[in-house]
Amino acid sequence: MAFSIASRPHYHSNKSIGNIMMRVILCTFPGISTLCYFFGWGVLVQLSLASITSLLAEAIVITIRRRPVKRYLQDHSALLTGLLIGISVPPFTPWWIVVIGSLFAIIIAKHLYGGLGNNPFNPAMVAYVVLLISFPVQMTIWLPPSSLLIQPLTFMDSVSTIFTGLNTGGFSVNQLRLTADGFTMATPLDTVKSALIAGKTETEAVLEPVFDTFWGLDWGWINFAFLLGGLMLLKQKIIKWQIPIGILATLFIFSAIGYTVSPDTVTSPLLHLFSGATMLGAFFIATDPVSAATTSKGRLVFGMIIGTLIYLIRTLGGFPDGVAFAVLIANMCVPLIDYYTKPIVYGYRKEKNDPRNEK
């Protein structure tokens, strides 16, 4: 029997990489459905655009590398990358930005390092950060929930806005952002951060129309839907519990401490957990088996680092969210984390100055 050596991810089960990736994709459906409910057809258009571009880029690169295209496409890793990019961008981001991000994720962040199993960073998050830094205006324009829009957007409105910048009625994205009350809206995290910078309290910030409950009109339900999908992944043993628990517990502890010390100047713990990309990041992004820590203790440390960085970026940084930056910074630490958390070889004793511990 031939024994082949390959790059991670390695799974101790009879499931193929393609089967596992497809299960992850299916578990994103609750979150995707909720996104579509609140933000309309634009979400599906972006998902389709990012997925098709990612699959085409994967096929082209694999052909250039003279590898079997069908076999590599069937691992569904490119499809998952495209879906994560489509989920992350605002629903009415111009089409060419999504295409650039998808191409960058597959060609640069993935295959430049050797393909699946060799990339040190999560490709979707690399692409998202590149787009956020390069096109900050387009990447931060989120429309209000469909229920608050002056006029509901049809499928053709969404397609026209994404590909031409104007809907079928000739309105731009900024005009479409107007609610029935005549003002534009931002995401809950952005609303609170802007209010705190302006000298308002957290209590005053949550009086804005974007909030109908403690977690916001739309993003709370979206995060709850991704939480359900994440629990499905845990139940199927597709991911380990250490990373999501490490992220969520650390984020909750730090935000609870900050909120207890100064409730008027920081964001509440529940808003941290159920806003932005918290649940998506904890269950679907940080748990990437290629770029995450591999040891049991290491995964917990990895999650705690991400949770800490998310809180620091949201509280002290210039961006209202911070999941993508936190994940990429933690990816840099993975070799060090794995080195210092590797289990002791069976039969060896952990003794001080024992030279066997260096083997």
DSSP state of 211: -
Q: Using alpha carbons only, what angle is made at residue 246 by residues 81 and 240, rounded to the nearest 5 degrees?
A: 60
Task: Over range 130-141, report the average pLDDT.
Answer: 88
Task: Over range 301-305, report the average pLDDT.
Answer: 95
Distance separating alpha carbons of residues 286 and 306, to the nearest angstrom: 8
Q: Which of 210, 182, 181, 180 is nearest to 195 (CA)?
A: 210
DSSP 249-292: HHHHHHHHHHHHH-TTTS--HHHHHTSTTHHHIIIIITT-TTTS
Distance separating alpha carbons of residues 106 and 57, to the nearest angstrom: 6
Q: What pLDDT was estimated at residue 106?
A: 95
Structure tokens at 35: 């996104």
User: Which band of pLDDT confidence, cut at 50, 70 and 90, is reported for residue 268?
Assistant: confident
For 28-47, how does the pLDDT look when each residue is reduced to its tens digit (9 = 90+)? 999 999 999 888 888 999 99
Q: What pLDDT was estimated at residue 243?
A: 95
Of 65-79, 307-321, 345-359, the one with minimum mean pLDDT is: 345-359
Task: Over range 327-334, report the average pLDDT.
Answer: 94
Report which of residues 153 and 216 the model is more confident about: 153
Q: Which of 258, 261, 250, 245 is nearest to 315 (CA)?
A: 258
Distance separating alpha carbons of residues 218 and 215, to the nearest angstrom: 8
Phi, psi of 166 (to 5 degrees): -130, 145
Q: What pLDDT was estimated at residue 183?
A: 43
Residue 359, pLDDT > 70, answer: no
Q: Which of 46, 227, 17, 28 is nearest to 143 (CA)?
A: 46
Task: Over range 331-344, report the average pLDDT.
Answer: 88
Candidate ranges 8-17, 199-208, 302-311; pick with highest mean pLDDT: 302-311
User: Which band of pLDDT confidence, cut at 50, 70 and 90, is reported for residue 114?
Assistant: confident
The answer to whether 125 and 328 have CB atoms below 8 angstroms apart is: yes
pLDDT averaged over the chain?
A: 83
Distance separating alpha carbons of residues 75 and 215, to the nearest angstrom: 36
Structure tokens at 232: 């499905």
Cα first-last separation, the chain: 29
DSSP 126-194: HHHHHHHHH-TTGGG--PPPGGGBSS---HHHHHHHHHHSB-TTS-BHHHHT-BTTS-----HHHHHHH
Q: What pLDDT was estimated at residue 180?
A: 42
DSSP 302-319: HHHHHHHHHHHHHHHSSS
Q: What pLDDT was estimated at residue 92?
A: 87
For 154-167, how does the pLDDT look when each residue is reduced to its tens digit (9 = 90+)? 888 888 888 887 77
Q: What pLDDT was estimated at residue 211?
A: 63
Say what percent of the chain tops pLDDT 90.
45
Task: Over range 85-93, report the average pLDDT.
Answer: 92
Distance separating alpha carbons of residues 244 and 240, to the nearest angstrom: 8
Q: Which residues of 119-156 are buried (b: 16+ CB within 10 A; e: fewer)?
A: bebbbbbbbbbbbbeebeebbbbbbbbeebbeeebeee
